Amino acid sequence: MPRLFIAVPISKTSKEIIVKNVLQNPVVKMPDIRWISENNLHITLKFLGEVPIRKVQLVKEIVQKSGLSHDSFKIQLKDSGVFPNKRTPRVLWIGIQPPDALCRLQNDLEKLAFDQGFEKENRLFQPHLTLGRLSDNGHEIAIESLDTVIQTVKEIHFPPFVVDQIQLIESTLTPQGPLYHTIYSQNLKNMLISVQNN
């Protein structure tokens, strides 16, 4: 069964900034952090897990219906931190501002998926872009080192970009890390052109 999730892409410019200021920055290189590759950077809206082949078309219809019900909107990557906390960090993230439109889109997807028999996510949706995942012994990382990484990311300026598409992505797990393949995309309504997604 394919392993699926629903996400929105980030702009090419934002990816380039992350590569230059994070992925290629020796200041934030830490052996306990597994960085997300440039091609895998995205904002997850809902993780579906393994989905029976017969239900994949249904998921596409959910993505389509949600996309046609929401206008495109602008967001900006801003701030940084870790989940769940600094004592036991597991995920290094960049925040999303403003989060309102993204939360409405995610909430709509969640309801549509639940109505079609998919499990509801009980955790509160916290809009973010995952930058890296910390290994199981990540809690042993010195707080000072982690603070340096977080502060470095916080100081990065990202220009706003337009979210104008939702993607259904298949994740294939490999020893080298997950491989993502977009199997369906749906444009949002009233696509904005004042901010270029470049």
Mean pLDDT for 43-65 is 97
Radius of gyration of the chain (CA): 17
- Write down the pLDDT at residue 138: 44
Q: In whole angstroms, what is the distance from residue 185 CA to residue 165 CA? A: 7
Kindly list the catalytic residues: 42, 128
Specify the residue for token string 């300026």: 157
- Write down the pLDDT at residue 179: 93
From the list 99, 47, 93, the residue with the least C-alpha distance to 73 is 99
Residues of the chain with pLDDT > 70: what percent?
92
Give domain limits for the chain: 3-187
| Average pLDDT over the chain, rounded to an integer | 91
Confidence of residue 73 (pLDDT cuts 50, 70, 90): very high
Specify the pairing of strand 73-83 against strand 3-8: unpaired
- Write down the pLDDT at residue 194: 42
φ, ψ for residue 11, nearest 5 deg: -70, 155
- CATH pick for 3-187 out of 3.40.50.2000, 3.60.60.10, 3.40.50.12640, 3.90.1140.10: 3.90.1140.10
pLDDT of residue 180 exceeding 90, the answer is yes
From the list 72, 84, 190, 193, the residue with the least C-alpha distance to 139 is 84
- Write down the pLDDT at residue 141: 64
Give one DSSP letter per residue of 31-98, joined into a string: TTEEEPPGGG--EEEEEEEE--HHHHHHHHHHHHHHHTTSB-EEEEEEEEEEES-SSS--EEEEEEES
- Write down the pLDDT at residue 87: 83
